[in-house]
Amino acid sequence: MSQVDYEIGKARPDQLPPGVPVITFDPYSDEVMSNPYPYYQELREAGPIVWMQKYGTYAVGSYGSVIRVLTDHESFCSSAGVGLTNFHTETPWRKPSIILEVDPPEHSRTRKVFSRILSPRSLNKLRERFEQEAHAMVSRLVSREVCDGVRDLAEAYPLKVFADAVGLPPDGREHLLPYGDMVFNAFGPQNDRFRECLARLGPSIAWITEVCQRENLSKGSFGAELYAAADAGEITHEEAGMLVRTMLSAGLDTTIFTLGNALVCFARHPHQWAIVRDNPAIARQAIEEVLRYDSTFHSYYRTATRPVTLDGVQLDKNQKILVLIASANRDSSHWSSADTFDVRRKPAANLAFGTGIHGCAGQMIARLEAEIVLKALASQVERLEALGEPELHFNNTVRGYSSLPLRLVAKDRKGK
């Protein structure tokens, strides 16, 4: 279908201010998603800000422009939704998130509670348990001839440790994945992918609503802490339940895809794996590089709160801007050899977790999980041998794999 829907945005290409290059590719098409990076390069080369013809929005993909948008929340807000749908003019598919899709001062109220629970200090107590689980899981996989890196590790690990930390019951956790898939599809257009995903949701929403209730969350869990914050009057009890749900929608698919992307990167770049294996202290930095090189979260939107000039272009109020963080992470004006995967690279503020007041509130636990899994692999695994091509999972905003047939070749214990 080549029909162009101008209703979503406001300006039309023929009415654009001078100097705005028009981009015609569809970032949500299978073709672009299969390998988006050459398209992102085209977009960055076209200009710091461009017009996405298919959806009637602006887009930024260079490092500097992305930072300018994300750090100016007064001009570029989140309360109109961080997806393509403009909540100020259209109806969202679900109630807007009370942390992701609100502006200050409301935002600080929920963010403060969320970030306290997921702060480095509170996470310290989880490290030991997370390490034990990672070692046990990796040992089991090493002893098998073949495994599926995505299902048996990238999915299994967060579904165990993260869901335990949130306080969920052990049974029924498979419902979490279709729900997360839906949430991330919904940041894009209501395309076939979105509709098929919605149709597949089935009983997942009911299950999730149930487990977010206070009585179903384990003692001492993040979920219990959210309800305690409600007892203390910082948020309401209803909001506590909504924030438990936020943890589940924002915190699983993202971490799972990141772990899967790491496995694919290291299976494809054995020399890079050797560096991590021989020097596990580098694991945390290596995860930053995985997130930079193949970012999990690709793009989301901001909306102009007033007429505003961005990189020389005058934007109208209510205009949506697509913010391509995955493109900024490959911008060669910021990164040297931007298209090279190099775990020795000094981490220099990659944008995989966004930045500014809405920068990921769960990033410290995501880093913790990924670092621990990588270290567990480094202590036991000589090489990661892919036994076939990984299968890409198509989602409108997050990028990752649904399957990776893998052999984890054990280190020779007597050898060294």
Partner 1 sequence: MPTIVYIEPDGQRKAIQVEAGANVMRTAVGNGVDGIVAECGGAAMCATCHVYVAEEGAELLPPVGEVENEMLESAAAERRDSSRLSCQLNVTSHIETLVVRIPDRQM
199 binds partner 1 (CB under 8 A): no
- DSSP, res 125: G
- C-alpha dihedral (90, 91, 97, 101), degrees to nearest 10: 10
Strands 50-52 and 22-23: parallel
121 interacts with, out of ligand HEM, partner 1, none, CB within 5 to 8 A per kind: partner 1
Q: How far apart are CB 114 and partner 1 at their closest, in Å?
A: 9
**361, 372, 378, 398: residue in contact with partner 1 (rule CB under 8 A):** 361
Whole-angstrom Cα distance, residue 331 to residue 105? 33
| Nearest residue to ligand HEM, scored by beta-carbon proximity | 362
Among 55, 58, 114, 401, binds ligand HEM (CB under 6 A): 114
Pick one of ligand HEM, partner 1, none as the site partner of residue 160 (Cβ within 5 to 8 A by kind). Answer: none
Alpha-carbon dihedral of residues 246, 78, 298, 339, nearest 10 degrees? -130
List the helix and strand counts (H, then E) for the chain.
17, 13
Per-residue contact string for residues 280-299; x = within reach of ligand HEM by CB under 6 A: ----------------xx--
Residue 250 in contact with ligand HEM, rule: CB under 6 A: yes
Residue 189 binds to ligand HEM (criterion: CB under 6 A): no
Asked if residue 319 lies in contact with residue 89, where contact means CB atoms within 8 angstroms, the answer is: no
Q: Which residue, 363 or 379, has its beta carbon nearer to partner 1?
A: 363
Question: Is residue 149 close enough to count as binding ligand HEM by CB under 6 A?
Answer: no
Cβ-count burial of 245 within 10 angstroms (0-12 exposed, 13-18 middle, 19+ buried)? Answer: buried
Where do the DSSP E strands lie in 112-249? Answer: 147-148
- Binding-site partner at residue 199 among ligand HEM, partner 1, none, CB < 5 to 8 Å by type: none
Site string for partner 1, 74-113 (x = CB under 8 A): ----------------------------------xx-xx-
Please classify residue 386 by burial: count the beta carbons closer than 10 Å to its beta carbon, then call 0-12 exposed, 13-18 middle and 19+ buried.
middle
User: Applying CB under 8 A, does 349 fall inside the site for partner 1?
Assistant: yes
Closer to partner 1 by CB, 258 or 355: give it. 355
Binding mask 194-233 for ligand HEM (x = CB under 6 A): ----------------------------------------
CA atoms within 13 Å, Cβ hemisphere of 381: 33
DSSP label at 168? -
> Which of the choices partner 1, ligand HEM, none does residue 254 contact, using the CB cut-off of 5 to 8 A by kind?
ligand HEM
How many chain residues are in contact with ligand HEM, going by CB under 6 A?
27
Closest CA to 6 of 53, 75, 47, 43: 53
Residue of the chain from 9, 61, 354, 390 that contacts partner 1 (CB under 8 A): 354
For residue 295, the minimal CB distance to partner 1 (Å) is 13
300 sits near ligand HEM (criterion: CB under 6 A)? yes
User: Residues 3-7: contacts with CB within 8 Å, 24+ apart?
Assistant: 4/53, 4/54, 4/56, 5/54, 5/55, 5/56, 6/56, 7/56
Place of tokens 């599809």: 185
Return residues touching partner 1 (CB under 8 A).
71, 108-109, 111-112, 115-116, 118-121, 347-351, 353-361, 363-364, 367
